[in-house]
Amino acid sequence: MKITDIFQQNGSRKLYSIEIIPPKKGHSIEVLYENIEHLLDHPPAFINVTYHQREYLYKTLSNGLIEKIPIRKRPGTVSICTAIKYKYNIETIPHLICGGFSKQETEDALIDLHYVGIKNVFAVRGDAIKGEPHFIPHPEGHRYAIDLVRQIARMNNGVYLEDVVENPRPTDFCIGVAGYPEKHPEAPNLDEDIQFLKQKVEAGAEYIITQMFFDNRKYFDFVERCRAAGIHVPIIPGIKILTSARHLTFLPRAFHIDIPEALVQEVKKQKTKEGVQQVGIEWAIAQGRELLQHGIPSLHFFSMGKTRAIKKVVETLF
Ligand code: FAD
């Protein structure tokens, strides 16, 4: 079922969803299953599965030269989505990225998804490969997420790449895209960023999931600015539960977001890991409660591989 239909069918019932990441290459999918099974008393409305670009591994050879080996550390997004959808009867949303993909490979991935009955895709550009100063598109791929959205939208109209398919069957994907309440780091300012977001919606995106934020005022302000700019699709807030003191430096560096001083101070007072987790959980509960009170229909939790804290927040909020 399309995500937009899930929202419509549930009317005013509040929902939540999660984002999970594929296990590292060579590890078992069972870890993902365990993470999902924790939540089955109150299952998520849908599960997003991230896509990971190639990275480079540097290996020193016996002659002293260094070999640069491309590797995908977390493969399997399409099959994980298929496995979860049919095992738990929960809709899954594979992320598709521009980075590392030619248009042809993207088309093939979309055809695979269409054949296995996946109705939703989340289109993002992807970040620069570790060690590269900025995002470099595949020579035959897309530079921006909007180009990926356009390709998917064309397939939804039965237009395939070479235009040689006889009686083409259209796909029927519901497309989601990313938005940034604290601005994407490469955008000159939030208004410009919102204009590009609007273009993604005009190109065919039907909902937005935001980057994580810890201060609800930033989300409310972002939504207001998006609405004023003419973006009227659902904007689903992305929530990360802070579960370790390391997150205070890691999250701002990795995701270009601020952590409010009150949260930083509460975390710093804690002497144990459990104390930090409790602070993070209480913060997320307060954030979630306020968002739901403001009529936000759905909360999206970034799991980063762990769902125990999400379970505690969800049990309190839903
Ligand atoms: P875009 O929309 O292409 O925007 C990138 C930058 O270019 C922005 O600064 C924008 O303002 C600017 N821009 C857009 N269009 C134009 C234009 N026409 N001309 C000039 N500038 C333009 N990354 C992954 O690798 N895998 C994932 O699974 C993944 N999932 C994510 C899920 C969520 C909810 C979020 C918020 C992010 C996710 N990301 C993921 C990270 C994302 O790939 C990065 O943030 C990336 O740097 C930007 O992706 P985008 O789709 O927002 O890019």
CATH number at residue 141: 3.20.20.220
Could you confirm whether 30 is annotated as catalytic? no
Closest CA to 84 of 316, 307, 308: 307
Residue type, 100: G
Phi, psi dihedral angles at 183 (to 5 degrees): 80, 140
Residue to substitute in 47, 52, 184, 190 for testing ligand 1 pocket (most ligand atoms within 8 angstroms of CB): 184
For residue 155, the CA-to-ligand 1 centroid distance in Å is 21
What residues line ligand 1, using a CB cutoff of 6 Å? 50-51, 53, 95, 97, 124-127, 144-146, 178, 184, 186-187, 193, 196, 200, 209, 211, 238
Three-class secondary structure of residue 161 per DSSP: coil
Question: What pLDDT, on a 0 to 100 scale, did the predictor assign at position 199?
Answer: 98
Host domain of residue 270: 3-317
pLDDT digit string (tens) for the chain, length 318 residues: 999 999 999 988 999 999 999 999 999 999 999 999 999 999 999 999 999 988 888 889 999 999 988 888 899 999 999 999 999 999 999 999 999 999 999 999 999 999 999 999 999 999 998 888 899 999 999 999 999 999 999 999 999 998 778 889 999 999 999 999 999 999 999 999 999 999 999 999 999 999 999 999 999 999 999 999 999 999 999 999 999 999 999 999 999 999 999 999 999 999 999 999 999 999 999 999 999 999 998 999 999 989 999 999 999 999
Question: What pLDDT, on a 0 to 100 scale, did the predictor assign at position 57?
Answer: 82
If phi > 0 it is left, if psi is from -120 to 50 it is alpha, else beta; for residue 64 that is: left
Q: Are 18 and 44 in contact (CB under 8 A)?
A: yes
Distance CA 79, CA 112 (A): 10
Q: Are 99 and 129 in contact (CB under 8 A)?
A: yes
Burial 227-247 (b: 16+ CB within 10 A, else e): eeeebebbbbbbbbbbbebeb
Write down the residue that tokens 């030619």 correspond to.
Answer: 102
Distance CA 204, CA 266 (A): 42
Question: What pLDDT, on a 0 to 100 scale, did the predictor assign at position 62?
Answer: 92
Identify the bridge partners of residue 57 per DSSP, sorted by sequence position.
69
Domain total of the chain: 1
